[in-house]
Structure 1
Amino acid sequence: MKFAIENGSIAGNLGYGEIQISPNEKIGYRPYELFVSSLIGCSGALLGNILLKKRHPYQKIEMEVSSVRNPDHANRIEQISIIAYVQSEKPLAGQQADKIANLVVKNCGMIQSVITSIDITFTVKTLPLNGNE
């Protein structure tokens, strides 16, 4: 990876292409957005793989994230909650959803990299295919 900093933004030349990073969301992705996106990218892909291995077909996974930041300590992220909504014909039993969520947390490299400094909760919920709970 290679990065160049100029005019208030950082340009990264990555494998997929170029990415613009800036604290100003009008000229690039904010570092916070990229950080959360890396957690979602890793855990979401892993969740999809786990569901396939467990022979639990799904049509779509939607993920919501909320966080708590501490303005007194460099606006550091102290807590992140991730809810994964799995759209599927058959629902996951509560205990099965919890086991899958625990597998995701245990095996996601991005989550494991920060879990000792950020309180992370990961929840899996099933939605019927029409999207109504």
Structure 2
Amino acid sequence: MELISSKRGFELVHQSGNWLLKKDSGFSPVEMLVASIGACGSYVYETILTNSKISFTIKKVEISYERDENRPTKPLRKVTISFFINVSKEAQGKAERAIHLISKNCPVIQSLDPSIDVVEEVFFV
């Protein structure tokens, strides 16, 4: 991976077009971290559901976050990943239990400071 400095800010070089990492014109580095947490958690959840032979459709994933306003750099304090999925009534309990396997199987979440609270929740649609 390579970052380049441009007039617009730092850009992450990508073959399909560079990603601007600047809050006012693209995604901030903190937003990119939160997106990485959500994407990794989503791929892991998808894999867990598939391996558990649960028929499902992930309709959307919403990721929200809170920062620790009491610390000078305002690091992440909490990230919530909300999964909106379609699964049969019979499989909903199993799908709910499966969310507890995400954090221990997600390399991005495992790489975070342990003080960052990651909450996974599922809503059936």
Work out whether the TM-score is over 0.5: yes
Gap runs ≥5 in structure 2: none
User: Where do residues 96-115 of structure 1 align in structure 2 (5 Å cutoff)?
Assistant: 96-114=94-112
On the 8 A contact 1:70/1:78 being kept in 2, the answer is yes
Cα distance in 2, alignment partners of residues 69 and 59 from structure 1: 31
Question: TM-score normalised to the size of structure 2?
Answer: 0.84
Question: TM-score normalised to the size of structure 1?
Answer: 0.80
User: Where do residues 22-101 of structure 1 align in structure 2 (5 Å cutoff)?
Assistant: 22-24=22-24, 27-73=25-71, 74-90=73-89, 92-94=91-93, 96-101=94-99
User: What is the identity percentage for the equivalent residue pairs of Structure 1 and Structure 2?
Assistant: 23
Cα distance in 2, alignment partners of residues 7 and 15 from structure 1: 20
The answer to whether structure 1 residue 20 and structure 2 residue 20 are counterparts is: yes
> Which residue of structure 2 aligns with residue 131 of structure 1?
none
Gap runs ≥5 in structure 1: 128-133
Cα distance in 1, alignment partners of residues 10 and 85 from structure 2: 35
CA RMSD of aligned residues (A): 2.0
The number of residues matched between the two structures is 124
